[in-house]
Structure 1
C-alpha cells in the first residue's frame, strides 16, 4: 500500500506587532503548520500571491494598506478564492465584523485572544470549504 504524504497547511501571518506575531508563531509551530510572517500591508498581497497559503491571519490595522483593503483586493482575484482569511483586530465590534465580512473575510477574532480560541478558529477554517 502506497504511503500518502500530507503537506502541512500553509499559513501567512500578516501582523505588525511583534509580541502578537511571536504568540502566533508559537501556536502555529506547535500545531504543525508551515508558516511565514509579513509585517507590512503593502507587501502582503504580493506575498499571498507568491505563497498561495491555505489561510491568512490578517491584522486589520497595518502600515501601508489595511487588512480590509487587502482582503477586498484578494477576493477580486479568482485564483485567490480558495485562500481562507481570518481577520484579527483590537476591537471586536459588530461594525468591524460586518466590514470584514463585506470585504470577504471567512472569520474574525478580537485581540487579545486566547490561543485555544484561535486554534479552534484556525481548525474550523482549514477543515471546511
Structure 2
C-alpha cells in the first residue's frame, strides 16, 4: 500500500494479529489511504454499539457466507468511483 494505493481493501474481521477494527482505524488514519473503500467480511453481524463506535471505518460489511453475486455486486458498487 505504500507503493500503490489500492482501489479497494477487502478484509476479514477476526484476524490473529491485527483485527478488522484496528486495520480500518489504521487505514483511515493514513491520509493517502483514508478514502480507499473498505469491505469487511465477517462471520457475525457487527453489534449495534460496535458499528456506531466505528463510525465510517468501513464502507460495507458482509456476513459470511455471502452469495458470490452479492459479493461481486458490493465490490462493483464500492469500485464504481475508482
- Return the alpha-carbon distance in structure 1 between the equivalents of residues 49 and 43 of structure 2: 10
Q: Return the index of the structure with the highest Cα Rg.
A: 1
- Deviation sequence 1:11-69 (CA, Å, 0-9, x none): xxxxxxxxxxxxxxxxxxxxxxxxxxxxxxxxxxxxx3344211011100011010110
| Counterpart check, 1:117 vs 2:70 | yes
> Per residue, is there more helix in 1 or in 2?
1
TM-score in terms of structure 2 length = 0.83
**Contact kept in structure 2, 1:60 and 1:67, CA below 8 Å:** yes
C-alpha RMSD of the superposition: 2.3
Task: Could you tell me which runs of 5 or more consecutive residues in structure 2 were left unpaired when the two chains were aligned.
Answer: none
TM-score in terms of structure 1 length = 0.55
Helix, strand or coil for the counterpart of 2:14? coil
Name segments (4+ residues, structure 1) moved above 3 Å: 48-51
- Return the alpha-carbon distance in structure 1 between the equivalents of residues 71 and 53 of structure 2: 17
Give the Å deviation of 1:95. 2.6
Aligned length: 82
| Counterpart check, 1:56 vs 2:9 | yes
